[in-house]
């Protein structure tokens, strides 16, 4: 399975949990011998501007985070494009689902998922899309940018029960037929992370259900990293999702 990645994502670019030293290394340690890496490339200014205002882009430049945020957005675009043909995951940071058109918070700067979906749509590769945001925190930025577009269905499962959480995923997957399914893969819902709910087998189930639905309907599918902050379990949870997503 292909994973979009850059060594630049190891750099600790701010003082927040998403940028913490050792976070990306914790994932790499688990997955590096089980996937094939694709070098991430920055998103174009046009791709970013399709989702964010010029004032917001200027602000990200001013605070010195444009290059790393553009690289993460570009990695998401690559993951989405590869995902139209085969499963793919974007091992990227900064995360993006709290970045709105003209503002951002929650460790996010550009909305990676929105930029990727808009790129696929503009290039005529999709007509309908599902974003499945499994992060502990509601993807308000993704809703802000994509919620009124009409072609995207946005689902943010929320539960204190693993079985119910997965049932919500199933319901979302069964609710329509999509050209692409994008997973905003936050791992902070994990049993040993902030959310305290999902285990490795649950992440594998989610990945498998997405894969089976995509294969049945002819959709592309991909995932990109959002949250997840317990370095001890983060890599194992990420690999569990990838195991579900990968082809048999």
Q: Return the active site residues.
A: 98
Task: Name beta bridge partners: 224.
Answer: 90, 184
d(Cα 23, Cα 32) in Å, to the nearest integer? 14
d(Cα 39, Cα 147) in Å, to the nearest integer? 30
Residues in contact with 109: Cβ distance below 8 Å, sequence separation at least 6, in sequence order: 60, 65, 69, 94, 96, 99
Q: Which H helix or E strand runs over 221?
A: strand 220-225
* Residue 46, CA atoms < 13 Å, CB-side half-sphere: 3
Nearest to 66 by CA among 91, 90, 99: 99
Residues in contact with 99: Cβ distance below 8 Å, sequence separation at least 6, in sequence order: 52, 108, 109, 110, 111, 114, 141
Nearest to 210 by CA among 165, 158, 161, 174: 174
d(Cα 61, Cα 64) in Å, to the nearest integer? 5
């Amino acid at each position: 399975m292909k994973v979009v990645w850059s060594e630049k994502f190891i750099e600790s670019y701010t003082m927040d949990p998403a940028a913490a030293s050792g976070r990306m290394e914790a994932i790499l340690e688990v997955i590096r011998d089980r996937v094939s890496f694709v070098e991430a490339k920055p998103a174009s200014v046009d791709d970013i501007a399709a989702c964010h205002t010029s004032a917001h882009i200027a602000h990200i430049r001013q605070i010195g985070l444009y290059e790393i945020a553009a690289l993460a957005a570009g990695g998401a675009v690559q993951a989405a494009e590869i995902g139209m043909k085969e499963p793919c995951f974007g091992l990227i940071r900064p995360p993006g689902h709290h970045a709105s058109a003209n503002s951002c918070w929650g460790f996010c700067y550009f909305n990676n998922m929105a930029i990727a979906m808009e790129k696929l749509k503009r290039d005529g590769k999709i007509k309908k899309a599902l974003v499945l945001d499994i992060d502990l925190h509601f993807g308000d930025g993704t809703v802000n940018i994509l919620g009124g577009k009409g072609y995207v269905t946005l689902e943010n499962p929320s539960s204190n029960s693993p079985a119910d959480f997965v049932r919500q995923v199933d319901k979302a997957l069964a609710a329509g037929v999509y050209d692409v399914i994008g997973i905003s893969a936050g791992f902070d819902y994990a049993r040993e992370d902030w959310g305290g709910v999902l285990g490795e087998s649950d992440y594998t189930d989610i990945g498998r259900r997405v894969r089976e639905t995509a294969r049945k309907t002819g959709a592309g599918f991909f995932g990109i990293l959002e949250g997840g902050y317990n370095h001890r379990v983060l890599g194992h949870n990420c690999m569990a999702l990838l195991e579900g997503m990968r082809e048999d």
